[in-house]
Every structure is written in structure tokens, then in C-alpha cells.
Structure 1
Amino acid sequence: MKEAQLLTPVVTAFDVEGNLDKQANKNIYDFLINGGIDGLVIMGSTGEFFSMQYSQKLELIDLVVDHVKNRTKVFIGTACMSTEETIALSNYAISAGADGVMIISPYYFALSDESIEYYYDHIAGEVKGDIYLYNFPARTGHDLSPEVTLNLLRKHENIKGYKDTVTDMAHTRKLIQIVQSEYPDFMIYSGFDENFAHNILSGGNGCIGGLSNVYPEIFSEWVKAINAKNLEKVAAIQKIVNKMMELYDIGNPFIPITKKAMMIRGVALQEFCQKPFIIPNQKQTELIESLLIEIDGLMDKQ
């Protein structure tokens, strides 16, 4: 069984006008690092990369690298709507000191396997650092297959890992079996929190899950438990995370819900998101508060 890792796809803090809230973002990074998270993924889907201005992305890269100062790993989501901007932003992140970049394939049109491979093939040849592939079929309309992944790995040594954001662990398990049979050190993470333990037991490397924004200490304990082969504790935390998954059902999209839950837990940030995301209403806030009380109760019983 491999050493487990849990990375956080970090929320991005904004002010009421949509500008970066620098201090709030620093507060978030410190909260996650102090909670024991293995690494930060900045400007993933949870970080609202898709609605940020390019200048904001540059600003946030500089902010996180300078503030974290190697206290944990920092990966940057650098996917843009053009290949050229993706390459430029990736190389900016690498030169700034990021440990790697995570790149989702182009969205809006469903792409053929040939187009997906062509896209990543070009990018990997131009980016001067480590790349992590990001598969999210529900958002892109296409799937990054194990076969295409293998083709890319055979050509590019700087492709180091893969985030598989699918609910079906059978998809991730097949990816692990096919790709790691030839590249055993290739990192494969699940994108949904509840699949963390299943991922590790299937030969993967862990999870990049958004709920760790809210309870980093629980996910850190989960990592320690599975690395210590303490299956009783792994199972106990699985039950807590299963309950925590209900946060995703309170609002769609879940990002404003996550920010509100963090605020209730005492993290100093504001609840604002980029338009068109709407801050939680009173009923949603009450549901969040009620659910956090239940989660805290389960934690106390550990």
C-alpha cells in the first residue's frame, strides 16, 4: 500500500467587488497548513479559476508561493481557454516556485481522444515543470482515458500525476491498474473526498477533495490512520466524511456553501464568490450550521 496523501483544492477569497482578498487567502493557507494538509492546489475548480481574470491568477500565484514559503507543497491550476495562455500561466507558476501545475482539458466542446492527446502533448512539450492531468468529465464533456494517458507518459517525463474527479471508483481503479502497471510511480488521486480510502486500497495515492477546506484536521488524521494501517480509525473517519459529504447537497454549486462553513468554523474570510455564484441564504446557512454540529458530535465520539 502506498503512502497516502490528501491535498486541498483551496477556495479563493474575494471581496464584495470581486477582487482578491489577500489577507483572507493567507488566513486560509495558514488554516490548512496548521490542519496538517499535505499540499495546496490553488485555482482548481473549488478555487473558481474559470471566472478569474488572468491578472488575478498571476497575483494569486505570487501571493501563495510567497506566503507558504515551502511549508507544504503548492500546485497551481493553470488551465485557460487558450493553449497559449495555459502554457504561459504554467511557466509563470513554475518560475514563481510552484511544485507543479494541474491542467484540466479544454471544456465546452466534447473532444475526441486524438484532440485530448494533441492538447496535452503540445502543452507538456512547452511547460518547464511538473504537470498533473485533471480529468473532470462532468465539466469537460469528455474523459481522459488510461490509453491516452499512457501515450502521453511515454512521451513526456514531466507528466507526474492525474486527478480523477468521478464518482465511480471503478473508473479510477481501472486507471490505476492500467497506467501504474507500466508507470508505478505515477500519482493518481481521486477528486471526491469519500473515495480517499478506496483509492489507497486500490493502489492510488489519495485524494484532492474540497471538504478538507472545512475540516483539514480530520483529513490529516485520516491520512495518518491509513498510513499507520489503523483500519478501525480509517473506518471511523470514513463515517464522518460520509456525513460531511452532505455539504455538497445544500447548494449548487457547492463553493459558496464551503466558504460559509469555513466562516462558521472560524476562518477569517468573507463569503463572496465570483458572479454568478450566490451567497448562501438563511435556510442554507441553518442547514450548514446543523450539519457542522452533527459532524462535531461524530468527531467527539472518536
Structure 2
Amino acid sequence: MSKRLYGLIVPLITPFKEDLSLDIDALKWLVEYLVKNNVDAIFPVSTTGEFPSLTNSEKIKIVEVVREYTPTNIKVIAGISSTSLYEAVDLALRFKDLGVDSLISTPPYYYKGNLDGVKRYFRMILDRIEIPLILYTIPQYTGIDIPPELIKELVMEYDDLVGLKATVDSMIYFRKIIQLVKPIKKDFNVYSGIDEYILPLILIGGDGAVSALAHITPNLHKKMIEALFNGELAKANELYNIILDIKRIYDISKSVSGAIKLTLESFNTPIKRFVRPPLTDENLDNIDIIRSILSRYRDKIVLYKEG
């Protein structure tokens, strides 16, 4: 991923069977569905994909399937987040051998340490992997903020540090990243992990979105992002408001992963609602509420054609 990647990245859910084993057939269907809807990149072993609940062998199998079923014009960005530096590096090298385009990592999220420790962690990964890496800050889960100044310092040292996914509730943070880092590396990719910030981020120079909701609305997210880059602000704003209205499915759900899975199940896709502990399965009674939220956009949501 040596050049700037604009657009839509989908952090892939991990389909499970009722016994909570991997559902590989459902995974293949999901990848083919996203490919058909022209997403720009697929991100397996993600937060939405319940990565802390997966074994390393499962992570490798998931990435192997995703890479096999994803054409080369769509990027595969594999997650290597871990509490262990050496586990992260081992996964990185295995994913590299499988042909992924880049990797993505949070800071280690058990021992918090300090920012010098976080910097050392990422340096030691980057020194060992020789493949593009995207940093991932999600402080509500990791307990660690990655300051823009630290990112600037690492970008100045490593050509393979190519982007940032930020799941943060702050436009000030995004603006500071763009002001500090883009002048040094103009093709540094900055993505929002929160749907509400996609539009304003792109307007100030960001590159796109990492959106779980795009499992449900890949076409709407894609059209919104394209409209923004084409300067069609009225069209982008209309799609943005539709996306945020659809996002209300999260309000009745126990988790983002569960909400996405239950919605896909409600359309009779191969995806089932099952999540691994400590997450809990969504209530089937919520299907009617979800469908009532989505039904007003029947002509816009591609799942109505799939299901």
C-alpha cells in the first residue's frame, strides 16, 4: 500500500456457528458480498471481528480465506493487535506471507506503560515486518491515547508507517494529525472509525472511513465518500444523514458486532447472530425493530436485493 488509499475500509465481522466455531462458508459469502459492492479494502481480525476472542490459528485461517476471495484491486488490511510484541510480529510475518497489502495495530492494551513504551513497541514492530502498517487508536478499549506528536515522530522515522485509524470522539485530534503529519508525508492515510466523523474528516483532508456499519450499507458509504471527493457536498450530506439514521440499530443492541450479525441474519444471509463471550448474542425480538429502521430506505440498501 505505497500510495494514498482513499475510501471505504470494512472491519470484518467474524462469522460463527451456533457452537461458536468459525463459519468459513459464511465468511466466504461475506467477502464476496463486500467485493461485489466495491469496498476499497477489507480489514479482517478487527475489533468488529472480535479479534481478542480468536486464537492465532483462527486469525491466520480468516486472513487466508479473505485474501483468497478478495481480488487484488481491493486491499486486505489485517489486524495484528496484541498484548505481546512477539505475537504481533509473528502474526505480521504470517499475514505478509499470505499476501496482505498492509497491517493495522493498536498499542498493547493490558500493560499501559507510558508513551516511551508505546513508541518502543511500534518501533520494534516496524523494524521487523517490512510491510506497510496503519496505527489504530481506540482509547476507550486500549486505555491509551496515541498523541499526534508521537505519530509524527514515527512517520519521520519509518516509510512503512502509512496511516492511522482513529476511533476518537474529537475533530481537534483529527485536525492536529492532518496539520502535523500530512506536511511531512502527504500520502499518509487518515481514517475515521466513527461514522459521524467521516464527512467532516474528509472535508479537512482525511482519506476515508473504517466503518462496521458498511456491512449493511456498503453502497451508501461508498457513494458518500465518492461524493465528498468529487465536491458534491449536497449529495454527500444526504447520504451521510441516511447512514446516521440507519446507525440507530446500535442503540438497541448489546454490541456493534452483534448488531451487524443480527441485521445480516434478518436478511436471511448465511451470517448468524452468534458472538463469543464476553459478548452476548442479540435478542431475536430486535429483528422487527431493526427492519423497521431499515425499511424506509428499502430502495437504497443492497441487502433488500440480497435477502
TM surpasses 0.5: yes
Q: 1:85 aligns with which of 75, 84, 87?
A: 87
- In structure 1, give the amino acid aligned to 2:194: F
Aligned position for 1:233: 235
Aligned position for 2:162: 160
Give yes or no for contact 2:219–2:301 (8 Å, CA) kept in 1: no
Q: Note the residue ranges of structure 2 that are not aligned, 5 or more in a row.
A: 303-307
The alignment status of 1:288 with 2:276, answered yes or no, reads: no
Given the two structures, how large is their TM-score scaled by the length of structure 1? 0.94
**Quick one: distance in 2 between partners of 1:185 and 1:23?**
36
**Quick one: distance in 2 between partners of 1:294 and 1:259?**
20
Q: 2:213 aligns with which of 211, 221, 233?
A: 211
Q: Secondary structure at the match of 1:274?
A: coil
Comparing 72-81 with 261-270, greater Cα deviation is found at 261-270
The alignment status of 1:60 with 2:62, answered yes or no, reads: yes
Q: CA deviation at 1:59?
A: 0.9
* CA shift in 2, pair 1:61/1:282, >3 Å: closer
Aligned position for 2:98: 96
* CA shift in 2, pair 1:238/1:90, >3 Å: same
* CA shift in 2, pair 1:112/1:125, >3 Å: same
Q: 2:247 aligns with which of 245, 248, 253?
A: 245
Comparing 103-112 with 135-144, greater Cα deviation is found at 103-112
**Quick one: distance in 2 between partners of 1:157 and 1:149?**
12
Give yes or no for contact 1:150–1:179 (8 Å, CA) kept in 2: yes
**Share of identical aligned residues, percent?**
26
Aligned position for 2:10: 8
**Quick one: distance in 1 between partners of 2:300 and 2:215?**
18
Give yes or no for contact 1:162–1:187 (8 Å, CA) kept in 2: yes
Which string of whole-angstrom CA distances, capped at 9 and with x for unpartnered residues, describes residues 170-192 of structure 1?
Answer: 21121111111222111110111
**Quick one: distance in 2 between partners of 1:73 and 1:204?**
18
Give yes or no for contact 1:4–1:200 (8 Å, CA) kept in 2: no
Q: Secondary structure at the match of 1:285?
A: helix
- In structure 2, give the amino acid aligned to 1:229: G
Which string of whole-angstrom CA distances, capped at 9 and with x for unpartnered residues, describes residues 76-125 of structure 1?
Answer: 00112211010010111111100001011111343421111011011110
Which of 1 and 2 has higher RCO (CA within 8 Å, sep 6+)? Answer: 1
Give yes or no for contact 1:87–1:123 (8 Å, CA) kept in 2: yes
Give the 5 Å matches for 1:104-123.
104-123=106-125
Q: Secondary structure at the match of 1:45?
A: coil
Q: CA deviation at 1:33?
A: 1.2
Given the two structures, how large is their TM-score scaled by the length of structure 2? 0.92
* CA shift in 2, pair 1:194/1:297, >3 Å: farther
- In structure 1, give the amino acid aligned to 2:176: K
Aligned position for 2:305: none
Q: CA deviation at 1:71?
A: 4.4
Q: CA deviation at 1:265?
A: 3.4
**Quick one: distance in 2 between partners of 1:293 and 1:280?**
20
Give yes or no for contact 1:191–1:207 (8 Å, CA) kept in 2: yes
